[in-house]
């Protein structure tokens, strides 16, 4: 049952965060809170030592400090900052650097793709899709939650928590 929860909760929340950011350019605080609660429940149920759980939360706090600094300079959105921090709790110190690198690469690819897409006119048949019109707008931001979610999904199988669950 624990394996099923670990296999469903994190990926489901990552997919929801990505789709929410794509469609609305926002990531609800509920997603980040659900990630934190899900990590806590699964890590305790898996028998992860409390000290190690604390280190995972310390990792998330450091990422929160870094990402909120980026937010204060207008480099990323507040939802992105909170999502990156909550995801980093799942990654822990062992995978947070990999997560950051993959998120940066995915974010760069996403940004370049959007810049290219925005150079062309939006086909008339898509002009009724509000989210696509907003995404196509040159002054609109980049839904970076997509890159953060993809990176989380890519790195998650190597995380300490996942390894603890599948080896028990």
Identify whether the C-beta of residue 29 lies closer than 8 Å to the C-beta of residue 82.
yes
Q: Collapsing DSSP states into helix, strand and coil, what is residue 54?
A: helix
pLDDT (0 to 100) of residue 62: 98
Buried b or exposed e, range 25-36, using 16+ CB within 10 angstroms? bebbeebbebbb
* pLDDT value at 158 more than 80: yes
Residue whose C-alpha is closest to residue 79's, from 94, 64, 90? 64
- The count of other CB atoms within 10 Å of the CB of residue 21 is 26
What is the Cα–Cα distance from 141 to 106, expressed in whole angstroms?
Answer: 15
Going by pLDDT thresholds of 50, 70 and 90, the confidence category of residue 15 is very high
The torsion angles phi and psi of 74, rounded to 5 degrees, stand at: 75, 20
Q: Is 38 exposed, middle or buried (0-12, 13-18, 19+ CB in 10 A)?
A: buried
pLDDT more than 90, % of the chain: 83
pLDDT (0 to 100) of residue 1: 80
What is the Cα–Cα distance from 85 to 148, expressed in whole angstroms?
Answer: 10
* pLDDT value at 168 more than 80: no
pTM greater than 0.75 (yes/no): yes
User: Radius of gyration (Cα) for the chain, nearest Å?
Assistant: 17
Count of structural domains within the chain: 1
Range of the domain at 75: 2-167
What is the Cα–Cα distance from 52 to 77, expressed in whole angstroms?
Answer: 29
């Amino acid at each position: 049952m624990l394996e099923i929860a670990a296999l469903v909760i994190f990926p489901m929340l990552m997919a929801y965060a990505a789709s929410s950011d794509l469609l609305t350019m926002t990531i609800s605080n509920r997603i980040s809170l659900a990630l934190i609660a899900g990590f806590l429940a699964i890590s305790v149920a898996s028998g992860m030592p409390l000290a190690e759980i604390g280190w995972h939360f310390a990792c998330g706090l450091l990422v929160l400090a870094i990402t909120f600094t980026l937010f204060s300079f207008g480099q990323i959105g507040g939802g992105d900052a909170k999502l990156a921090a909550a995801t980093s709790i799942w990654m822990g110190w062992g995978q947070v650097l990999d997560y950051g690198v993959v998120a940066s690469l995915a974010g760069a690819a996403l940004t370049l793709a959007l810049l290219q897409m925005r150079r062309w006119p939006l086909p008339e048949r898509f002009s009724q899709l509000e989210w696509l019109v907003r995404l196509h707008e040159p002054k609109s931001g980049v839904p970076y939650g997509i890159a953060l979610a993809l990176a989380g999904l890519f790195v998650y199988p190597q995380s300490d928590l996942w390894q603890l669950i599948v080896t028990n």
